[in-house]
Structure formats: structure tokens, C-alpha cells
Structure 1
Amino acid sequence: MSSFLPLISGADAELSGALSRIGPVLLSSQPSDFLPDHAYLLLESSKEPVDLGALVHLLDSGIEKLILPLSSAKGVIGSIPPERLVLLLDVASASAVSDKVRSSVSGVLLRTPTLDLDFISSISQFFTKSSIYVLSTSNEVPTASNIRQLRGIGATLVVPEAQLTLEASSPKQINIADAYLAPIVSDRPDGLFPTIVATETGHSLGLVYSSNESVKESILTGKGVYQSRKHGLWRKGETSGATQDVVSIRADCDSDSLEFRVVQHGAGFCHLNRESCFAEASGLPALERVLASRLESAPEGSYTRRLFNDADLLRSKIMEEADELCRAETKEDVAFEAADLFYFALTKCTAAGVSIADIERSLDNKAKRISRRPGNAKPQWEQKKESAPAPAPAPPAQKPKVDGPIRMNTYDLVQSSTEERAQLLRRPVLKSDEMIEKVKPIVDEVRKRGDAALIDFTAKFDRAKLSSTVIFPPFAQESMQLPDNIHDAIDVAYSNIHKFHDAQNNDTPLVVETMPGVVCSRFARPIARVGLYVPGGTAILPSTALMLGIPAQVAGCKEIVLATPPRPDGSISPEVMYVAHLVGASAILKAGGAQAVAAMAYGTETVPKVDKIFGPGNQWVTAAKMLVQNDTDALVSIDMPAGPSEVLVIADHTANPAFVAADLLSQAEHGVDSQVVLVAVHLKADHLAAIEQEVEKQALALERVDIIRQSIPKSNIVKVATVEEAIAFSNDYAPEHLILHLEQAKEQVERIENAGSVFVGPYTPESCGDYASGTNHTLPTNGYARQFSGVNTNSFQKHITSQEITAAGLGKLGPVVATLADCEGLGAHANAVRIRLQELQN
């Protein structure tokens, strides 16, 4: 925590520069040119509705935290991570904050007319997990004592720029160094602060001492100035020329020692002309120094000089070493090849004037981004396995653009060859074998280390620090607090889905007398322990919890373990919590990805092991499900293979262009790898153009338009002449969702052979099946509708057969069985029958 938080406009460059060395700064207006590494932004406007896109852009651009009033914060909760959000409160509104809001921010900026320590302390106790910042609305200039007192109760004073100065403190202004040093107290008799001096990347250069006077000078001048215990102020490099530019000054957790991060010039920090007093630099810092030296002095003709001078050679070496790293398999080989790649990559950086510190800053800035790219490889790097035959080239697709028209690709089935038709039926290639190799280390870690691995992976992937991984019922009421409209909507959806799935539950055993005295039967039993995976990712999915939990509940499963990724504060969304309560979940696992699948498959200290795992997920989840189902030690099955979401729409002249476009977009927004197909039955050019115009018009109005810009150009319009051709193409494609915008839609259903779920007529949007009509939305994708059904009540049951044979029945059946057993050479089988027949004859 910084000593104080300066509130600045950035107009005074000298003051802003000095402040940026000692901690974060709070900007009072949106930045133009000046943006320090750790900048908070105060946005007091309560404009409605909140422009979420603009706020995300600010965070992506490098703003560390946004400070918003309560009315604005409510509109972005759940969309912006809590650690990036601070709540602006006046004294009068502090009591109006709900538990949901409180748990969705990481700090509170309290605006108060007086520095009432008791009141501020009570606020900090209410916001127990948040940083407290205090801004006085009075014109009274804060003192060092005010800063110390607030730090004593865990709060940070916000000081406006007008009250700060680089000059000596006065009744009207406080010197920034005095403000910074106010809470820092030495525990040494001489009052000096032990000070670690380090490079920008945190590599130690030496241990020195600082005084109030030396720290002040360093803050104000930006130069390394320390306190010699023998000679007084020590301005580093004043005589040797090995000067330092101060990047940052930080106090330790006890506020009794300091760390200076500096850019060291000259021979080095140590008086022995070494970079560090502890030893010569090693690893990447040493390589960086060597390359910088060789850039200046490497002789002509030397290898390093050739690399600096020949861009094509350097590029070839980087690509060569990257390829060798990708092929390396053992730990030693990976380390060896990675070292080579680092060498050539850092050579490229040195030639361009890029330092390791620049790279780390870029990494830090990328980590701050809220919006994420899909992370797909560019086409030229998507290499197929060498052992696999090369597939036929896919239909040409437009390259996704950041702007410009949003268009699907159009093909005429009448004019397409057999090979071209086959290509139109293909989905994007799923490299399941490669993904399984990637998830295997995660699965193995959870299998070996249990809860400890789950906690580590949740911190790494979901950025949530947990002390426990499972919630058991009864679930706390406050965890299920929902607005009335959402609560009621979930209840209606639950009722419809339960009614439909309950009708599938046939408790009556099947009994058949196959011949006199031989009675065979079949009866259903629930799978005892099931795991339900509910994705988190870019959306909250209580609908998936309903679709998986209700049939498990109806089937009578004894244990229902629901797994879902936690939010950054470690909680589960109240929508999912409420559904878990409705379906009678026996445990909620706060984990996502491959680690959640592994925990349910093998069990941990707290996570119950399950017998079957259900639910959609990203490629990591899918690969982990495929991996564990093939492990005999896990003894677990899965619902079905899964892939990206998809829809096929068949439309004729009666189709409403707006309806068709809306149906296509409802699946295209799921992800960049989603695929939508429009089969146009003898549509005129103007009708087809109207649909395409609606796709673009509606897409541009959607929040997830960036995803749609990438999925729609990968999707197809297939023109056919007749409904018969359309349905034949659909049956071959076997879509997850099939929507019929046809004149006699209901009459065509009997001709559908392969589909996950069918949506009949213009007023049956796929969204209804996704949420509340009653059917299940967990459906086979990637063409697996040819072999698999969607999730249903039977999915959560297994069927057991039995037979009962009377003595008379065995007398007739026994000779048949004995004959067949003899035919197969299985004498014991035949004997089991004959020994009974002999007994009957005696």
C-alpha cells in the first residue's frame, strides 16, 4: 500500500513524473499523453447507461483501476473483475451498498468532509476485503500526521494535486517526499532505512542505506541518492559516472526498509566495476549486457554482427529455433532449445532497442487487459499431424476483419461437385489428440495432489484464491440473492424442463416371457454419482445448470456434484447457486477447466468422485473428459463428444429475414469457433440480400459483435433448389440445432433423421430451447447427432436386465444353450446347464 494516493490531472509534468516514482497515482480526467505504469482513474459521471465498452477500453489501455460512483458500478459488476474496480462513496451513501456490490469491488474511495478515524475504521470493517481510500472535501491541507493515522487503520489518504508541491512543505501545500515518508519509520538507532537497489527487472545490485534527506532528493530529481554512514549524502555516480535513473521507490510490508528500482549507467553499481555487489549477472540480464556490448563493438564478420546486420538471417534463426523448441520432448531438450530461442529473440530485441524491462512491461500491460483475443493460431501456423492424411482444402473464407461488412460465404449446391459438397459438411478441424496432451499434466497433478492442485490451478487460471474448493448444502441464502425477475424466470424454466424430463422417466420394468417358463426383464436404476460441468468463461450459464441438474434430479441420482469456475473473489454466481439449490446438488466444486473434470473423475480429499460427467465446455474441458473416460483407473464415463456450438437454418420464401438473421446470430455469438449455416431454398436474390443485411444490422447492435465478426465469416449460405435437397443436406450435416423456416414446417419434421434438436416454424427460436421451453440444450455437435442423442433423463440412468427360468423352462431352453456352448468349445458353460437337466431327470 502506498503512503498516500495523489489525485492529479497530469498537467504538471515534473510533479507527475516525481509522483509516478513512489506509487500509483489517481487521474482526475481521462489520460491523453501522460499515463504512468500504475494509474487509477476517477470517473464521477453517473451517465446512464454505462458505456461498458469504453470502460473496458480504458482498462485495456493500461488503467489499473477504475473508480466509479455506486450508480455506475452497478451496471458493470460481473463484467469487470473486482480487482480492477473501486467504488466512489459519499458518507451518506455508504450504508446503501449491497453485499453483491461489496463483494464485486476491491476498494472504496470514501469522500468525507472530515477525517473521522472512528467512522473510517467502521467503513473499513464493513468492506473487509477492500482497500480504503479517503478524500477529504475540506480545503484543509493534510499533514504527515494525518497520513500516518490513516495508515494506522489500514486506509490511504487521497491528496489533490493543488495541495502537493516539490518545494518545502507549507500551510498551503505538503511536499510529496514528506507525504511519502510520513508512515515510514526506521527501526535502526541511526534512523536510516536499509535499501535494496535493483534493476528494473528486480535483479539485486546492492544494499545501501537511505535517510529522509536522500529519499527526498531521489524523489524530486529522479536520480539515485543514498546516505553513506560515514560520508553523508551519496549521489551515485557523482564521481565515477555510474549514475542511476530511479524508476520506482517502494517501502516493504513493515514500512521500515526500501527498494529502489533503477536504470544503472556506466560500469555498474559495485565499486569493483561489476553490475552487482553480490556477483556478476547471470541468465537473461547477463545475456542482455553481452548483446548490448556486441551491438556496439562486435567486429565485422563475427556471427553476432551478422545477426545484427542481416535481418533475413536473424528471422530464419528465430523460426528455426522456435520449430526445434516445438519438437523438443524431454525436460533437458526443452530447456536447451528454449535457451537458443531466447538468445536469438533477445538479439532481435537488442537491435530494435528493446530491453527485458520493456518486454516485462508489455507482459504486465497484456495481463491487465479485460478483453481477450481468441488465441487461435494464424492459418500458416496451423500444421496438421504428419501421420494424418492432408484434408481437402476448405472452401475459401474471408479473413475476419476488425471492421467492414459482416458477411457469410455463399455456395450454390446445384453447381457444387461431390468434393465441394463434402467440404461444406466439414467442421473446423478439432485437434483432440494435441489438446489431450496439453491437459494431461493438469489431470495428473489433480490426481496426485488433490485439493492442493485444484487451489493452485484455480489461482492460476481463474485468478481466484481459495482456501477450500467445495461448498456443501445447505447453501447460504445470501449466496442465492437474485432480482425478482431473474428468480421468477428461473422458476418458470425449472418447471417446464422438469415437466418434460419427468415425462421421460418410465419406472415400469419391461417384462417379456420369451418362451414358456423363461421370463426376461429390464429395469432402470439411476447412476449413483454424477458430475455436472457448468461453464463460466464469458457468460453466466444458469441454463446449463438447469439442463443438467433437472434430469439428474428426476432420474434419482444420489449425488449431484456441480462444478463451475469461481469468480475472482472466490464466489459462485447467485444464479447458479440458486439452480444448484433447486436441483438438490450435493456439492458445488469451485473450479473450471481440465482440473474440475479431473477432480470429479478421480475424487480429492473434499471433492466426491463421480461415475459419469456431463456438460459442455471449451476445448480444455472436452479434452479432459475424453482423457479420463479412457482411463480404467478413473472408471468414469461422459455424456457425449463436444465441439463448438452450431446451428443450421432451412429457409424458404416464407421466411422473415429478421427472424432468420436473429437465429443465425444467436449461435454465432457463442464463440469465434461457432459455425452457422443457412440453407436457402430457392430464395430470390433480394430475399437473400435482405437476410444478409439483417445479419449485419443486428450484429452491430450486439455487445458480442467482436466475436460475431470472427464466426460469421467462417459460416456458410448454401443455396438449394428444393426442400428435399435442403433436408438431405441437413441430414448429412447432422446439426446440433436445426431451425425450420418453411411453409409447411411441421410436416417436414418426420423427414429429419439427424439433428440434436429441431425448432419448428417462425415462432420457435432456438433460444427457447436453450432456456425454458422444456427440451434439453446439451446436444451433440460436430456431426455426432448421427450417433448420439442430446442429454435426457435416460442419460442419467442405466438399465439392468434380469431373467428367471423355471425348471420346465430350463427343460426346453437348456438343450439349445448346451448345443451352442459346445459349438463354441465352452464346456463349462454347457456343463452348467446339463448338470441341472440331469438333476431334473432323477
Structure 2
Amino acid sequence: MATFLPLITEENPTLFQALDRIGPIILDAQQSVPLPHPPQHSYLFVKPGTPVDVDALASWLDEGIEKVILPLSWAKECIGSIPSERLILLLEISGVSAVSENVRNGVSGLLLKTPSLDVNFISSISKFFAGSAIYVLSTVDSSPTPSNIRELKSIGATLVIPDLQLSLGPTSDAKINIGDAFLAPVISDRSDGLFPTVVSSQTGQSLGLVYSSRQSVKESIASGKGVYQSRKHGLWRKGETSGATQDVLRIRLDCDSDSLEFRVIQHGAGFCHLNRQSCFSEISGLPALESTLKSRLASAPEGSYTKRLFSDPELLKSKIMEEADELCQATTKEDVAFEAADLFYFALTKCIASGVRVVDIEKALDKKAKRVTRRPGNAKSQWTKPTTATPPPTSAPPVEKKVAKDGPIRMRTSDLSTTTPEERAQLLRRPVLRSDEMITKVKPIVDAVRQRGDAALLEFTAKFDRAQLASTVVFPPFAPETMRIDPEVQKAIDVAYANIYKFHAAQTTGEALVVETMPGVVCSRFARPIARVGLYVPGGTAILPSTALMLGIPAQVAGCKEIVLATPPRADGSISPEVMYVAHLVGASAILKAGGAQAVAAMAYGTETVPKVDKIFGPGNQWVTAAKMLVQNDTDALVSIDMPAGPSEVLVIADHTANPAFVAADLLSQAEHGVDSQVVLVAVALTPEHLGAIEKEVDDQANALSRVEIVRESISKSIIVKVATVEDAIAFSNDYAPEHLILHLENASQKVPSVENAGSVFVGPYTPESCGDYASGTNHTLPTNGYARQFSGVNTLSFQKHITSQEITAAGLGGLGPVVATLADCEGLQAHANAVRIRLRDTSKQ
């Protein structure tokens, strides 16, 4: 924010450069100084009597002039065609009453020429221009004082000082020192009177925090070099001994006028005494890419790809056009970001090769934003399709993200200590689930099954599952040959069944809750099973008898009368014998040989052969999830669902005690589920060597898996988050709310009470997530996509509903009845009150 505005009336390059370092400058439109390349944030002063020229005004604004100060004759002509925020009205005191409401509303500020700096008088005039910025130019020749600047600032006005009254020398009766004028409203809440000062790069990246004094600021303004105040050693001229000097571009005040920002060009090794650019962290993002490309331009090894790009303009041109085309085709948020990053890389390579810096691009953007005249913005002919061409499809097919088919399998890494709140929020985000789009896609399938029943179901099974069936439903008893499995597998399923049954049976006591709330008033709550449940067991890229166990056992324990298990058939029309065996164990009343939205619809509405259910459980792909969401909102279906579902996910927290092989194995156990699986490693103060060992284990173990291509895809989109403490790690996990949380921590069990959001927690080095997936006893159907904040995993109570009851004696009604009648009267519900009073009258007769 400007403390004052200098008005340049004559050439004085030294003074001009110093003033340009501290804020906007007012340039005389009749001088040659401002155009054609005005300094950034400059204002233009049009003297009264100058012939009105709206085109010239628009041209000045297009060239980068921030605002134009213009007389009333110009304002009347320009208002309506020039944005109000770019116009400041110039007025003599005597002309204030002549300003119409249209003119007041058409400008953003007022420059008042007055012989007096009477604050009360100026404040009264500012009320007439409510909402406008107020600038004051004294018409007397005497130099203003710092107190004049402070007083005007106190009423929200800014003093305009002609350059003839400004100096780089000491303040005198004739002239005020630029630094004294700039620092006039600045206050310090420190006992030493110093001002906290943030030092930033040209593009706004923080380099460090220092302190400034009035003396150091004055010297920086005058010399254009970074000069600060050391609290121990006095005046500190940055780089005087190290050579890491700074050129000061701009010195700014914060909104409270108690701290400063220096925008600088940093020379040498960097700002930090550790020979890096910033005291806070290594640079990242575009500044880091710019630094790397500048270094490669100077010394890229022969044969390197970047060297080829710098040496071969045609190759670089081709890559820019290729990446621009891929960005245009991208549809999902992740793909757009991925392709935009590629385009930025090649575009910035072109810029660096041409001597263009990121700050030059930002200046060009700022200048374009200031333009008041605009082109139509139509594309050039070579980039437009003829109008006779076939119109493009309404939705382009998703662009497959490019993942290298060779090379190390790596996760992306972020350091939580250096991320912004916005970047941290991005780390917590899952891929966008376009529920509305998917519901639109599945609705025709759901409607077809609802309307045509088995016929539609058979058609969709043939189309999507590639299985030709005569019937989609199998009822018990199930043929022994359909359940014939490997004896070892059968033994494992039996052990898993026993453990899961034991854990889920313990979740219900079967006893009713009975409470006497007041004498003679007994309230109770008792559980009843949901009569008919549908269990969706995915097929897809893996056989999942474990999901059949996890859904079937709590339904069996809860006492559900009908258990319909739906799973996609194999190409020959059969069901996995492992799933068939589990269906037999849990007492399934029917097996629906169908998958996807059609299976969900069949269970929701029922068909000629498929029993209708009251609640649908189970994970699935986006088609299944969308169908579940659709049917639960249809009152004709009268069906509920367990929870919203998304891709499988795991978050692993690892400290110095973590075994790299164990950690990698846990990450990969979820990564192999599908290409959209979400895998996060939160590394607690791990050394680079320890983290490198984990990354090497991920690569080595992944390449030994049969599903390595799926893992390669999911791991490339997964993240490592570096944190300083266990508390930071658990706080991040609670915000993320993972489906599976694994604690590879010292004294891991002591950290469990801090866990607030998670589907299921796996404690210590010998508790792999796989055990929960299969046989430890807990349920593996868990909330994903952050829903662990609101939902529990599937459990026995998920398959029950609770009914309340109350029984009141005549004496009990005598105590409770008047309370009820009073509340009913309050709500105007006479019949409610009457139902009580009629009984009270009856008991009074007894």
C-alpha cells in the first residue's frame, strides 16, 4: 500500500528510480517519461485544458498505465467506455459541488487540489465520494511533513507530493526525504523500533525473514541494494562479504503498516547462509523448473534430452504442439494437471532459450490484464474446424495418463513442513468421482431391469459379462461340484469364517435396552434383523471370496431371513467355486449371477426370479456405486445401502523403527487392487537413506508381482508425505480419513487413541492389512474416499435396525401427561393434547 504518491514533473533519473522502488508514480501525460514503456503500477496525470482524447486514454491504459487522473471534462466523455476502477477524477476545491452522481459512480478515486491540508475539511469532502480512494495535492509550495502524511492516512487519504518537494538527502523545510515520507505511517511494536521484513524473489517466493530500521530502509531506497538491520551487528548490507547481493525491485508495506516486504533479484548462491535460495526450503514448482532449465542451458551434457531441446528448435516446437493437443483432449482433473505440467515444461524451455524468465511472463500477464480494448478472441483459421465438419462427440473419451512402462516404480513425494494450505488440501484429495455423470450413465440400465426384469438382466449379462445364461439365479441347495475347491483353500476359508464369525457374534448381545425414565414410564430399544439383504461381491480383476465372507457372516449372525449374493459370472456362466463355498457357509438364499448396475437394480426392485432386498451391501466400481446411489434415492425401490464407496486405499505411517520391506509390502497390497487405488506413505522424520530403502523395496517387490502393470499405474499416482513428528502424521491421517491405516511406529498401540478417522487400524510391524482383509476377524468392507469421517465399516449392527417401545402405567401417565399436553398446546396440536387429557380424566374418575 502506498504511503504517498510522487508526481513527476521533470527528469531526474536517480530520484525517479528510487521512487519506483516504493510504489506507484504519477507521470505527467505531456512529458516523454511514461510512454511507450511506463513503469509498473504508474498513474498518468492529465492536466486541465488538454483536449479530450478517449482513444489516447485507452491506448495509455493498454500500455500498462494503472490509473489515469483526469479532469472533469475528460471524465464526462470517458465514463461508460473506460472501467471505473481505472479512473481518478481531478478536482479543485471549488468544483466539488459540480460533480454529478453519474460522475461519482463512474470513477474509483478523487484527486483533490487544495491549498490546505485540513484533515477535517478533507474528511467531509470524502464522505461525498463514499467508496472512492481520496488523494490530496497541496497547491502551496511548502514541503509537507511526515505528520501531514500520517494525519491523511488516519482518514484513509493519500498525499500526492511533487518531485520538486522530494529529496534523497536529509529532510528540510524545502524538501522531505523519500524514506521519511515512505516510513511516515509505519509503526513498530518492538522495543528496538525495528520492522519485521519479508524478503521475496521477483515472483513472490519467500527467501527469508529479516529486520529493517529507518536507516536501512532509506539506504535501500536510495541505493537499490538490499540493506537491513542486524539485531546484533547493526547495519547489514546483504552480500557485502559473501557476494550474494540483492537488487531491490520494490519495497511495500503490509495492510497494518507494521511490517515490510522487499521484492529483490537475488545474486550469488542465494539468500540463505546455507547457500540455497530460501531460508525456508528448497524452491519448487515453476521457479525450480526455471532454475533447472537455466542451469541446463548453460551446461547441459551432450546427448541429454534437454540439450536436444535447446539445440533443435523444430523438436521443441513439435513437443509444444503435441503437449498442447494432449492438454486439449484431457478431460479429468488429474489428466489436465498432468498434461498441463508437460506443456509448462516445454513452453518454459522455449522461454529460457529465448532469454525470457518467469517474471517476464508474469509482467506480460499483468499488462494484458490491464488492457481496456480487447480483440474478439476467435481462434485463427488453422486451429478451427470447418463448419461443415462432423460435430465433435458430446464427451471425449478419457485420455489415458502416460505411465512409463519401464524404469523405477516410484511414488510422488511432498514435505508437509513446506506445503501451503492449498497444497496440503490437494494431498488430501482423492480422484474426482463424477457421481452425477455416472448416475446418468447407469440410469438406462437400472430402468431397463426395473421395467423388463429377467429379460433385461440376461441381455446385460451377455453384453457386459460376456456370459450366455438361461437363468441368472441359483437357489440352494448348491450343487457340490460348484463348490469343489483346493483343500488348503477350503481350510483357510474355514479358519477365516470362524474368526470373522466370532468377532461379529460378539458385537450383539441380543438383550433389549430397558430404561425407566420416570416412575411408571418404561422405554426400551431392541434389535431386529433386516429381513432381506443383497450382498454385492465384485469379480473384475480379482476373485474375492473374502468379500463374500465379510458381507455374509454379519448378515448370518444378525439373523437376516434372506441373503441374496450377487457376483459377475465367468465367461462359461459359472461362479467362482470359492465364492460358491462361502455362499453355502453363510446360508445364502439365492445367488445372482450378474454384476454391475444391472445386479444392483435387480436386487433393488426384484425381477421374476431375483428376490427384492431391503438393503444392499458391498464394494464395486463406479458403475456399481452410482447404481447404489441411484436406487437408494428412489422411493419406489425402498432400499438403502451400506455406504458410498470409492477405490481401495491405504495410509501407512512409518517412523525410524519401520522395516522398509514390511512398509513396501503393505503399500503394494492395496496398490494391486486396481489402477485407481489410493496409496499414501506418511514418513515421520525418516532419513533420506531410510526413505530410499523403502522406495527401493517398493520397486523390487512390485516388479516381482504378476499384477505389476496395475501396480505401476497406481503407484505413479500415489504419494509420500514427509512430516516432522508422529503427531503431525496422525493429524494428517485424521484429515485424510483412510480406509486402512497401518501404524509402523515405535509403541504403536499407544498411538491408537489419537486415531479419530479411519476405517480400520493395523497396529505394529506384524499386523499387515492383508490379515484384516481375510481372516483376523474384523470386516474389510470399509468406508473409502474420506467417508471414514462419517461412516463405520460393515459390522453386525449394519444388518440390524433398532426398534424403540414404551409402556406407561396409569400412575406414570399422571406424572408425564401434563408435560406432554403442555408441549402439544405450545405447538398447536390439540389432538395430541386430547389423547393425553382424555386418559387423565378417565384415571381421575377411578
1:808 CA drift (Å): 0.4
In the other structure, the counterpart of 1:495 is 498
Where does structure 1 lack aligned partners over 5 or more consecutive residues?
1-310, 328-374, 380-398
Task: Tell me which amino acid in the other structure corresponds to 1:585.
Answer: A
SS at 1:800's partner residue? strand
Alignment of 1:114-129 (within 5 A): none
Number of the residue aligned with 2:833? 830
Select which of 600, 625, 630 maps to 2:628: 625
Q: Please point out which of 763, 766, 769 is paired with 2:769.
A: 766
Structure 1 Cα separation of the partners of residues 399 and 442 of structure 2? 18
1:437 CA displacement = 0.2
Aligned counterpart, 1:682: 685
Residue equivalent to 1:642: 645
2:615 aligned with 1:612: yes
Distance 1:803 1:712 in 2: 56
TM-score (norm 1): 0.54
Question: Which residue number corresponds to residue 590 of structure 2?
Answer: 587
Distance 1:807 1:837 in 2: 8
1:820 maps to which residue? 823
Residue equivalent to 2:485: 482
State whether structure 2 residue 664 is matched by structure 1 residue 661.
Answer: yes
Q: 1: distance between equivalents of 2:666 and 2:393?
A: 46
- Displacement of 1:319 in angstroms is 12
1:802 to 2:823 alignment: no
Match of 1:560 among 550, 560, 563: 563
Aligned to 1:511: 514
Q: How far apart are the structure 2 equivalents of 1:319 and 1:680?
A: 57
Aligned pairs (5 A) from 1:77-88: none
Q: Quickly say closer, same or farther: Cα 1:599–1:744, change in 2 above 3 A.
A: same
1:545 alignment partner in structure 2: 548
- In structure 1, what residue type is equivalent to 2:385? S
DSSP-derived class of the 1:414 partner? coil
* Aligned pair partner of 2:710 in 693, 707, 712: 707
Structure 2 residue aligned with 1:377: 399
Alpha-carbon deviation of 1:312?
A: 8.5
Shift of 1:730: 0.5
Matched, 1:405 2:411: no
Alignment of 1:782 with 2:785, yes or no, is yes
Q: What's the CA shift for 1:314?
A: 9.6
Counterpart CA distance in 1 for 2:545 and 2:394 is 42
- In the TM superposition, what is the alpha-carbon distance from 1:313 to its structure 2 partner? 6.1
Rounded Cα–Cα distance in structure 2 between residues aligned with 1:453 and 1:524: 37
One-letter code of the match for 2:804? Answer: T
Q: How many Å separate the matches in 2 of 1:552 and 1:378?
A: 40
Q: Partners in 2 of 1:459 and 1:769 — Cα distance? A: 35
Once residues 716 and 316 of structure 1 are traced to their aligned partners in structure 2, the CA distance between those partners, rounded to angstroms, is 41
Q: 1:314 to 1:682 in 2, by over 3 A?
A: closer
Give the residue type in structure 1 aligned to 2:687. Answer: K
CA distance in 1, matches of 2:620, 2:657: 36
Q: Deviations over 1:231-272 (max 9, x none)?
A: xxxxxxxxxxxxxxxxxxxxxxxxxxxxxxxxxxxxxxxxxx
The secondary structure found in structure 2 opposite 1:648 is strand
Which residue of 2 is the match for residue 316 of structure 1? 385
Give the C-alpha shift of residue 612 in structure 1: 0.1
For 1:605, the aligned partner's letter is E
Residue 458 in 1 paired to residue 480 in 2? no
The Cα offsets for residues 536-577 of structure 1, whole Å up to 9 and x where unpaired, read as: 111111000000000000000000000000011111010000
User: Residue type of the partner of 2:785?
Assistant: N
2:744 is aligned, of 741, 745, 762, to 741
Q: Which is greater in Rg?
A: 2
Distance apart, 1:323 and its partner CA: 3.7
Call closer, same or farther: CA 1:683–1:627 in 2, change over 3 Å: same
1:615 to partner: Cα distance? 0.2
User: Does 2:447 correspond to 1:447?
Assistant: no
Question: 420, 437, 443: which one pairs with 2:423?
Answer: 420
In structure 2, distance between residues paired with 1:737 and 1:320: 51
Question: How far is 1:325 from its partner?
Answer: 3.9
Residue type at the aligned position of 1:522: R
Greater alpha carbon shift after TM alignment, 628-637 vs 701-710: 701-710
Distance verdict in 2 for CA 1:762–1:605, change over 3 Å: same
Stretches of 4+ moved more than 2 A in 1? 311-327, 375-379
Quick one: distance in 2 between partners of 1:630 and 1:324? 30
Aligned to 1:11: none
Q: Distance in 2 between matches of 1:322 and 1:507?
A: 64
Please, what TM-score do these two structures have when normalized by structure 2? 0.54
For residue 498 of structure 1, report the CA deviation from its aligned partner.
Answer: 0.5
Following the alignment from structure 1 to structure 2, what is the Cα–Cα distance between the partners of residues 595 and 817? 49
One-letter code of the match for 1:404? G
- Give percent identity, aligned residues only: 80
Displacement of 1:841: 1.3
Which aligned pairs between 1:138-177 and structure 2 lie closer than 5 A? none
Provide the secondary structure at the position in 1 that maps to 2:385.
helix
Aligned residues: 466
State yes or no: 1:529 paired with 2:532.
yes
Q: Give the distance between the partners of 1:819 and 1:706, measured in 2 at CA.
A: 70
User: Which AA in structure 1 matches 2:718?
Assistant: S
Tell me the SS of whatever aligns to 1:316: coil
Work out the CA distance in 2 between the residues paired with 1:536 and 1:568: 12
CA distance in 1 between counterparts of 2:723 and 2:485 reads 48
User: Using the alignment, how far apart are the partners of 2:790 and 2:713 within structure 1?
Assistant: 30
Matches within 5 A, 1:274-313: none
Distance 1:629 1:800 in 2: 21
2:140 matched residue in structure 1: none
Gaps of 5+ in 2: 1-379
How big is each residue's C-alpha offset from its partner over 1:411-441, in whole Å with a ceiling of 9 and x where there is no partner?
Answer: 1101111111111111111000000000000
- Separation of aligned partners in 2, 1:719 and 1:823: 59
2:616 & 2:747 partners in 1: Cα distance? 39
Say if 1:743 and 1:378 are closer, same or farther in 2 by CA, change over 3 A: same
CA distance in structure 1 between the partners assigned to 2:576 and 2:822 by the alignment: 63
Deviation at 1:378, TM superposition (A): 4.3
1:561-604 superposed Cα distances (whole Å, 9 cap, x missing partner):
00000011111010000000000000000000000000000000
Distance in 2 between the 1:546 and 1:514 partners?
Answer: 41
- CA, structure 1 residues 591+318, in 2 after alignment: closer, same or farther (shift >3 Å)? farther
Q: How does 1:36-51 map to 2 (within 5 A)?
A: none
Letter in 1 for 2:496: A
**AA partner of residue 762 (structure 1):** P
Matches within 5 A, 1:198-213: none
Q: Cα distance, 1:377 vs. partner? A: 3.2
Matches within 5 A, 1:45-194: none
Describe the shift of the 1:376–1:776 C-alpha distance in structure 2 as closer, same or farther (beyond 3 A).
farther
Question: Whole-Å Cα distance in 2 between the matches of residues 582 and 631 of structure 1?
Answer: 33
Cα distance in 2 between the residues matched to 1:479 and 1:435: 35
In 1: Cα distance, 2:691 partner to 2:833 partner? 70
Cα displacement (A) at 1:528: 0.1
Counterpart for residue 757 of structure 2: 754
- What letter corresponds to residue 730 of structure 1 in structure 2? S
- Specify the alignment match of 1:330 in structure 2: none
Deviation at 1:316, TM superposition (A): 3.3
